[in-house]
Amino acid sequence: MIILAISAILCAATLLWVLAPIRIRSVFYVAAFTCALLSLGLYMAYGRPDLPAAPTNIGKGAEADYRQMMLDEFAMMNRLSKNPDDADAMIRLAALRLAQGRGGEETLRLLAKAQTITPKDKRIEKIKKLLEK
C-alpha cells in the first residue's frame, strides 16, 4: 500500500512537471488530477498486486516446463488407466493439477479415493491444505 501511495505521488509530480507549460492554472491542476485519477482507476480495475514482477518465464524455459508438466500428467493418467487403484499416481496427478492451477472437484475426488487406499500418506493432507488457500 505504501508503494502504491509513493507511486501515485511520483506520478502526480511527473504530471505536474510535464504539464507545467500550461499557463492557465485551473486547467493545469484539473489535467494533472484527472490523469492521476485515471491511472489509479486503471490500476484498480486491471492491476494485480499479488502477482510477482515477472509473472511468467519468458523463452524456452517456460515452454519446456509446461511441456514436462503435460507429459507427467499424461504418464499419471496412463498409470491410472492401467491400474485404477494406484494411489501414488492419484496423488501425483492431484499435485500436478494443483501446480497448473486446476485444483477442483475432480482433484478432490482423486485425493479422497487415494486417502481410502492409503490413509496414512502425508502428501494428501499437504495437497488438500494447498487447495484450500
Q: Does the pTM of the predicted model rise above 0.85?
A: no
Query: With 80 as the cut, is the pLDDT of residue 122 above it?
Result: yes
Region 60-132: CATH code: 1.25.40
Q: What is the pLDDT of residue 117?
A: 92
Task: Encode pLDDT of 51-95 as tens digits.
Answer: 655 555 555 555 667 788 888 889 999 999 999 999 999 999 998
- Examine the pLDDT at 106 and tell me if it is beyond 80: yes
Q: How far is CA 83 from CA 75, 76, 104, 109, 120, in A?
A: 12, 10, 23, 17, 20
Residue 32: pLDDT band by 50, 70, 90 thresholds?
confident
